[in-house]
Chains A and B, each alone.
Chain A
Amino acid sequence: MIHRRTAIAFLAVSAVSALSATVGCARKSGESKGGGAPSSKISVKGSDTMVILGQRWAEEYMKQNPASTIQIAGGGSGTGIAALINGSTDVCQASRPLKPKEQGEVKAKRGHEAVETRVALDALAVYVNAASPITAISLPDLAKIYLGETTNWKDLGGVDHAIILYGRENNSGTYAYFKEHVLSNKDFAAATQTLAGTSAVANAVKGDAFGIGYGGIAYLEGVRALGVKKDATSPTVMPSLATAQDGSYPLGRYLFFVTAGQPQGLAKAFQEWVLSPPGQAVIESTGYYPLPKT
């Protein structure tokens, strides 16, 4: 049984690689035509947080430029960065900046420096169930929860019940961001349940009265975002456009497009459009925040 399934997976993989090889050829021939609006195809891959955003951008852009095809895929920032390193995607969407090690690998394997461009702003929300009595949390308390040091809601003024931890799998930019900015790079508690995608986390917290989770501000349906305090004595800040743009919300973060070298052709045109007012206008309809106007 296992053998047969592995064999099928193997066949699927070879089919996909054959297909992508064909696509690669098609892309080259498309570029050689040149002239006018770039008529070609690029793939954009990476952050699960940014998948919906990327899709909306691509839809709008392709509506205005029917000759262009932009394929958006998720998988996580880590997956996108790995794809950028391996050369299997043109643009990587990332919800965190690249690590020095990853920048080195892009340079080594692609021959160009990785170029990160800020394209949108997100506030990482801390979700609790709608029925939870908790309304605000400080970053040190949040860290203790996810390090497994605080395990009961009663320590935070809630009911006497174990805290059920939900998080993202370790290829997620959200995982990396949270680990760095909240946990000071210490390891998540082993009891953290890792789910595929922010919507899965939000869904789990929605169904679990004692759950806690984290993820992009765009996924608030059925769950409630906690106010966040930088430390025990600082004021509570709710995630919002204003607090994310002025930097007062402690878990605000930029979302990036990453390319190997400056973007070329369609990737360049797409990125310029994303940063233009029509592109930035798309962001708010998806629940994220446009870049502050400088």
Chain B
Amino acid sequence: MERFAEAAIVAVALLSIVSVALILIFVGKEALPVLFSSLVHEEVTPASMIFPHDVNGHAVFSWQPVSEVPKYNILPLFLGSLKVTVVALLFAVPTSVAAAVYCAEYASHRVREFLKPALELMAGVPSVVAGFFALVVLATWVQNAFGTEHRLNAVVAGLGLAFATCPVIFSVSEDALRSVPQSYRTAALALGSTPTQALLRVILPAAMPGIGAGIMLGFGRAIGETLIVVLASGNAALVDANLGHSTRTVTATIAQELGEVVVGSAHYHVLFALGSLLFLVTFVVNVITERALYRARQSLKGSR
């Protein structure tokens, strides 16, 4: 009986891995013609996706797939994704880590029992609701507060994303802080450090690998989120550093344009290439952080 249950669980776990692998293969396969198909290369090449187009003597990075001369430069899109993700993390990391520290170290048992589920409930807010809130309410606040030129911009979209990323970072960070052994705290206090010193020099560093993992999850959530940015970013493919300007992300582009394309056209394959590139970015960032966190964990063990 037990063996049967174990086999069933293994099968279910394998199923999810296999389906993810199949999706990757499918997306990758649909992206490959961008590299190899001469038919696609009549419209777009990997080089033209990266290097600027020449428009009347100006070098322009332009995403204009429906045009006399289709232009598929990915720079504005990845810049857009980067802008909203950075804004989201700048807001979400300090607030959610601080909330996690409060919850794990300072809050009384009763407050904690209320606070943690309440904050985690935020993760259950559908992203379309968060996006709509950003579109209707946040956008007006941000424009009134900062006088931004565009009502819908990277800041509004980033704050909307922070709404989705905060609960993720908070929850994982809080668990990490709580799993720091009690002996660390008592030892630090016994050695004469104040509670604040114990927190900053002992507990936080010990929980860092876990908090880092939470931030990584938050990053993945922010860069992959679609609906919030479709609604709140304005979707203009601009290339500038101004956070008050409208911005277009990779995910929003795929969501808005994939419904239209004729299956097998150059535009279709480019959208799949965008999806593959986005996956590659999150994968590489994940691997790098995973390694850094591993090293951090090792050095913690070594210094014990």
In the docked arrangement, what's the CA distance between A10 and B256, Å? 18
Residue of A nearest to B260 (CB): A171
Contact B19 A82 (CB under 8 A): no
Of the candidates A179, A185, A193, which one forms a contact with B236 in the assembled complex, judged by CB atoms under 8 Å apart? A193
Please encode chain B, from 252 to 283, with 1 for each CB lying within 8 Å of some chain A CB and 0 for all others.
00001101111100000000000000010010
Determine which residue in A2, A76, A102 has the highest number of CB atoms from chain B within 10 A of its CB, and name it.
Answer: A2
Chain A residues with Cβ below 8 Å from B263 are: 82, 86
* A79 touches which of B63, B152, B259 (Cβ 8 Å): B259
Contact A204 B151 (CB under 8 A): yes
- Flag if B66 contacts A196 (CB, 8 Å): no
Mark each residue of chain B from 237 to 265: 1 if its CB lies under 8 Å from any CB of chain A, else 0.
Answer: 11100000110100000001101111100
| A105 interface contact, C-beta 8 A | yes
Contact of A195 with B235 at beta-carbon distance under 8 Å, contacts A6-B20, A85-B262 already known? yes
Q: Which A residues lie within 8 Å of B262 (CB)? A: 82, 85-86, 102, 105
Chain B's nearest CB lies how many Å from the CB of A182?
15
**Do the beta carbons of B23 and A10 come within 8 Å of each other?**
yes
One of A3, A6, A170, A191 near B65 (C-beta < 8 A):
A170
Mark A176-208 against chain B: 1 for CB-CB distance below 8 A, else 0.
Answer: 100100000111101111111000000010011
- A45 CB, nearest partner CB in chain B, Å: 10
Contact residues, A203-253 vs B (CB, 8 A): 204, 207-208, 211
Q: How far is the CA of A7 from the CA of B224 in the complex (A)?
A: 13
Q: Are B149 and A162 touching (Cβ within 8 A)? A: yes
Contacts of B235 in A (CB 8 A): 169, 193-195
Provided the pairs A7-B23, A162-B149, A185-B68 are in contact, do residues A194 and B260 lie with their beta carbons within 8 angstroms?
A: no
Q: Are A6 and B256 in contact (CB under 8 A)?
A: no
What is the chain B residue whose CB lies nearest that of A162?
B149
B224: A residues at CB distance < 8 A: 1-2, 5
Whether the pair A193, B257 counts as a contact (CB closer than 8 A) is: no
Question: How far apart are the CA atoms of A235 and B149 in the complex, in Å?
Answer: 33
The answer to whether residues A3 and B20 also contact, given A85-B262, A162-B149, A164-B149 and a CB cut-off of 8 A, is yes
Which residue from A1, A162, A188 sits with its C-beta under 8 Å from B220?
A1
- B282 proximity list for chain A (CB < 8 A): 2
Tell me if A288 is interfacial: C-beta within 8 Å of chain B. Answer: no
CA distance A85 to B63 in the complex (A): 25
| Cross-interface CB contact of B259 among A171, A193, A208, cutoff 8 Å | A171
In chain B, positions 17-41 with a C-beta closer than 8 Å to chain A are 19-20, 23
A185–chain B nearest beta-carbon distance, Å:
5
Chain B, interface size category, equals 35 or more
Residues of A within 8 A of B64 (CB): 187-188
A54 at the interface (CB under 8 A from B): no
**The residue from B66, B139, B140 contacting A175, defined by CB atoms under 8 A apart:** B66
Residues 208-246 of B contacting A (Cβ, < 8 Å): 217, 220-221, 224, 230, 234-239, 245-246
Q: When each residue 190-215 of chain B gets 1 if its CB lies under 8 Å from chain A and 0 otherwise, what string results?
A: 00000000000000000000000000
In the complex, the answer to whether B230 meets A191 with C-beta atoms within 8 Å is no
B215 CB, nearest partner CB in chain A, Å: 13
B76 within 8 A of A: yes
How many Å lie between the Cα of A2 and that of B71 in the bound state? 28
**Residues of A contacting B248 in the complex (Cβ-Cβ under 8 angstroms):** 194
In the bound complex, residues from chain A placing their C-beta under 8 Å from that of B185 are none
Q: Bound complex: CA of A6 vs CA of B251, how far in Å?
A: 12
Query: Does chain B have a CB within 8 A of A78?
Result: yes
Bound form: Cα–Cα A251–B20 in Å? 48
Please tell me if B168 contacts chain A, counting CB pairs below 8 Å.
yes
A190 touches B236 (CB 8 A): yes
CB proximity of A147 to chain B, nearest CB, Å: 11
Name 20 interchain pairs, CB-CB below 8 A, sorted by A. A2-B220, A2-B279, A5-B224, A6-B20, A6-B23, A76-B260, A78-B260, A82-B260, A165-B236, A170-B257, A171-B257, A171-B259, A186-B68, A187-B64, A190-B63, A190-B237, A193-B246, A194-B236, A207-B151, A208-B151
| A interface residues with partner B (beta carbon < 8 Å) | 1-3, 5-7, 10, 75-76, 78-79, 82, 85-86, 102, 105, 162, 164-165, 169-171, 175-176, 179, 185-188, 190-196, 204, 207-208, 211
19 more contacts with CB within 8 A, not counting A78-B260, A171-B66, A175-B66, are A1-B224, A6-B20, A7-B19, A7-B20, A10-B19, A76-B260, A82-B261, A86-B263, A169-B235, A169-B256, A170-B65, A176-B66, A179-B66, A185-B68, A193-B152, A193-B246, A194-B235, A195-B234, A207-B151
| Interchain residue pairs A-B with the least CB separation, the first 9 | A171-B260, A193-B234, A78-B260, A170-B66, A2-B224, A194-B235, A169-B256, A79-B259, A193-B236
